[in-house]
Amino acid sequence: MKPLTVNFARMKETIEYSAKVGEIPNQGLRRLALSKEDKTMREQLREWMIDAGLEVRIDDFGNMYGRRKGQTNFDPLVIGSHLDTQPNGGRFDGVLGVLTALEAIRTLNDYEIETYRPIEIVNFTNEEGARFEPPLLGSGGLTGVFSKEYVYNRQDRDGKFFKNELAEIDFKGGETNRLQRAHAFLELHIEQGPVLENEGVTIGAVEGIKGMSWLELKVTGEGGHAGPTPMPLRKDAMMAAANIISHIEQKSNVFDNDLTVTVGRLDVKPGAVNCIPEEIVFSVDVRHLDDEVRKKFIDEMKVEMQDMATDRKVELETETLWEVNTSTFHEGIIDQVSKSAERLGYSNRRLYSGAGHDAKYMNAFCATGMIFLPSVDGKSHVESELTLDEDIEKGANVLLDTMIHVTDNNEQL
Amino acid sequence: MKPLTVNFARMKETIEYSAKVGEIPNQGLRRLALSKEDKTMREQLREWMIDAGLEVRIDDFGNMYGRRKGQTNFDPLVIGSHLDTQPNGGRFDGVLGVLTALEAIRTLNDYEIETYRPIEIVNFTNEEGARFEPPLLGSGGLTGVFSKEYVYNRQDRDGKFFKNELAEIDFKGGETNRLQRAHAFLELHIEQGPVLENEGVTIGAVEGIKGMSWLELKVTGEGGHAGPTPMPLRKDAMMAAANIISHIEQKSNVFDNDLTVTVGRLDVKPGAVNCIPEEIVFSVDVRHLDDEVRKKFIDEMKVEMQDMATDRKVELETETLWEVNTSTFHEGIIDQVSKSAERLGYSNRRLYSGAGHDAKYMNAFCATGMIFLPSVDGKSHVESELTLDEDIEKGANVLLDTMIHVTDNNEQL
């Protein structure tokens, strides 16, 4: 049988709708978790799911599900991703995973196909971690990585609580609505890196996700007026932090080629031109496929940073905000993604993900796999993030074909 | 004649009132210019001035004046400072200059002294520059350093305009209320540095103010996801900025012992843990008594920073936010401050100010001088800023005595 293919023109309309909800200049999107833009987008997804004949439910983390009945009432195949974005994010990250899932369902409806198992679309809450840290709060809550109390007590930078903001946008559902069991989870996503594009490959069959650590460093020095305090008497937290950050970069460059280190957030107290900074808080994101390399780097770095702080007579506190080891997806699903791409005649390769995804936590819950699509210039988390229409269409076709094969699988994965 | 002395217990009450308006933990004060706390404090000052029999007027920059008649209607002696603070400021910076002036007036009232010239108390708007940059907007506007349009169009970080915020707190007065001419200006202030305390001296007769430059640097790199982008392909604005900041510090340490360099403000875009920073904007504050040394340092630094940016393939823009040369106060007033301290039996010395003050701009408007009091541990612009009661009392007495001598001076200064 020839593989089914989606209606791309129809899917494109949903992508364009999404691109307007939280639109910012330069084709960017700012749709922070549980914001009013997130609410608008969620309401539209709910409407689309109802129109597609799905049974919609919301759980206590705000995760949204749309269930399509199967021939059996066995554990469902779950497909989806997230609709929230970074503060200056793009139109594709997460969004494609939800909207290709919706289009796959609509295509099944077009052909009046009743799958063996039920299928559920999912939109996870606060994947990005841009508003409420850490990321993956919705999938992490669902899969028991985070307790409900922990998730509810996360605060944004304005001190607003996850729990209240979830209720505020009317997406606080019942605990009994959580996904109880799943046959498998499938997530389509943009690569967010340069590998597929550089090699001219369309479909990535994702083997797993690199381990990562998020650290928060607090440098406490001594404040004072920028003018009268002589330099040798200062305990300037900014100068100490700048030195430490430079050292982290230098060390990472010689430590291991595949290590990535990012300082994405830095806050200055008090933060005025003519005040010597008394406190600097900054984040460090460290990733590597080999968990031991990552951990060794961090251990060594901690000792060296502490020495630097001591030399400068400032205090340094290091907190681990988040840490996950490298995980490997289900071999049968990785293989099926490759096979579906082959059936459709699309170039494909296996690769690891350098970014975290909801699939990360779902992998411990049920058999899991991901499909990657090329990112132009390898960019994401920026306004100029782009995945080409032709690649999106091919990705949706691979998702549909993989889905049909996985849902018809009678065995326990 | 024995010098008059102030009623310290009465003055202490006004200091304690002020310490409550915008109180923050650890005995700090957060009373940003044109905030609701600033409004409350201004209303109290107006009440105090009216109770002291002063004629109150507000000019179009929100500068507040309280005039006490003299035997003549000659140009007045003006005394005062500012009541706004840094975001995490202390209880004394600026505040003492206004409240000692009020107490000096009250003391003249107690003794029913009619001075030769009129005396005006002044409270200048937005001295700190913590909310609206640059600092000294009120005194700079009055003395013609800044145009009215420039001052009115300053915006805070939330994009709010000076003009609207001034109207919002009901302190937008008429242009005709500006101080037209003055015989002299006197400002009492905390030293904000360690010199007086280290030498066990109570009174500083300020000779002038060190020149300073405020620069804003913008580093533009390329954003992207923290995970998948390999380190060699990045144009990480944070790493570039950290290197530049470290270099600025190293260079300043070898360039000149008396140079001070401070990076007090740094903003990251987009500012999320898992996003490579695409843009970093930070301030650099450079001060030196010798204007040529300061300018040479900045010129060399600019070239070196540009080279560093080029090496890293990021862009660097440098803007001068503010620049003033070193200024020297009126010899007659400096001398009178020393003499008044001597008359009262207080230890004293001459010194330059490393910090900017309203007296800086007033110095071009009329004969100007300042009185410095010791700062415990040299600290200011922090919650723990402290000047001891006994020093405040002595400072107020010197202000009163200097004021009486200067107002009785019949000559043009």
pLDDT (0 to 100) of residue B228: 83
Buried b (16+ CB within 10 A) or exposed e, A320-343: eebbbebbebbeebbebbbbbbeb
Where helices occur in B85-173 by DSSP H, the ranges are 95-110, 137-142, 148-152, 162-168
Q: Which of the pair, B385 or B412, is modelled with greater confidence?
A: B385
B119, B74 Cβ separation under 8 angstroms:
no
Which of helix, strand or coil describes residue B351? Answer: strand
Whether the per-residue pLDDT at A412 is higher than 80: the answer is no
Residues of A in contact with B230 (CB under 8 A): 193-194, 257-258, 260
Running DSSP on this structure, what letter comes out for residue B216? E
pLDDT (0 to 100) of residue A141: 98
What mean pLDDT comes out for the span B278-294?
A: 97
A348, A205 Cβ separation under 8 angstroms:
yes
CATH for B211-324? 3.30.70.360
Tokens for B318, please give them: 């440098």
Whether the per-residue pLDDT at A170 is higher than 90: the answer is yes
**d(C-alpha B54, C-alpha B50), whole Å:** 5
What mean pLDDT comes out for the span A371-387?
A: 93
Distance, C-alpha A308 to centroid of its chain: 34
Q: Is B8-210+326-407's fold the same as B211-324's?
A: no
pLDDT (0 to 100) of residue B225: 87
Whether the per-residue pLDDT at B1 is higher than 80: the answer is no
**Helices B291-311/B237-255 angle, 10° precision:** 150
pLDDT in tens, A17-50: 999 999 999 999 999 999 999 999 999 999 999 9
What mean pLDDT comes out for the span A116-134?
A: 95
Record: contact A224-B264, CB cut-off 8 A:
no
**Looking at this predicted complex, what is its ipTM?**
0.79
pLDDT in tens, B74-122: 999 999 999 999 999 999 999 999 999 999 999 999 999 999 999 999 9
Superfamily of domain A8-209+326-407: Zn peptidases (3.40.630.10)
Domain boundaries, chain B: 8-210+326-407, 211-324
Q: How many CB pairs under 8 A join A and B?
A: 283
Q: Are strands B367-373 and B184-190 parallel, antiparallel or unpaired?
A: parallel
pLDDT in tens, B203-255: 999 999 999 999 999 999 999 888 888 898 899 999 999 999 999 999 999 99
Running DSSP on this structure, what letter comes out for residue B193? S
**d(C-alpha A19, C-alpha A41), whole Å:** 10
pLDDT in tens, B123-145: 999 999 999 998 999 999 999 99
**d(C-alpha A24, C-alpha A158), whole Å:** 21
Residue A410 pLDDT class (50, 70, 90 cuts): low
Record: contact B353-A225, CB cut-off 8 A:
no
pLDDT (0 to 100) of residue B413: 75
What mean pLDDT comes out for the span B195-207?
A: 96
Tokens for A20, please give them: 């307007």
Residue closest to B192 by CA, chosen among B206, B212, B180: B206
Whether the per-residue pLDDT at A127 is higher than 70: the answer is yes
Whether the per-residue pLDDT at A411 is higher than 80: the answer is no
Peptide bond into B270 cis (omega under 30): yes
Tokens for B197, please give them: 């305390």
Which of helix, strand or coil describes residue B227? Answer: coil
Peptide bond into A270 cis (omega under 30): yes
pLDDT in tens, B36-60: 999 999 999 999 999 999 999 999 9
pLDDT (0 to 100) of residue B262: 97
Residues within 8 A of B (CB atoms), A 205-234 only: 210, 212, 214, 222-231, 233
Residue B366 pLDDT class (50, 70, 90 cuts): very high
Phi, psi of A23 (to 5 degrees): -60, 135
The verdict on A382 touching B (C-beta cutoff 8 Å) is yes
What mean pLDDT comes out for the span B351-364?
A: 94
B195, A227 Cβ separation under 8 angstroms:
no
The verdict on A191 touching B (C-beta cutoff 8 Å) is yes
pLDDT (0 to 100) of residue A369: 98
pLDDT in tens, A234-264: 999 999 999 999 999 999 999 999 999 999 9
Whether the per-residue pLDDT at A2 is higher than 90: the answer is no
pLDDT (0 to 100) of residue A54: 98
pLDDT (0 to 100) of residue A274: 87
Q: Evaluate whether the domain defined by B8-210+326-407 bears CATH number 3.40.630.10.
A: yes
Residues of B in contact with A370 (CB under 8 A): none
Tokens for A43, please give them: 């309401």
Please give the full DSSP string across A153-208, using - where no structure is assigned: T-B-TT--BHHHHHHHTT---BGGGS----SEEEEEEE--SSHHHHHT--EEEEEE
Peptide bond into A194 cis (omega under 30): no
Residue B410 pLDDT class (50, 70, 90 cuts): low
**d(C-alpha B97, C-alpha B123), whole Å:** 9
The verdict on B320 touching A (C-beta cutoff 8 Å) is no
Residues within 8 A of B (CB atoms), A 44-83 only: none
Amino acid at B35: S
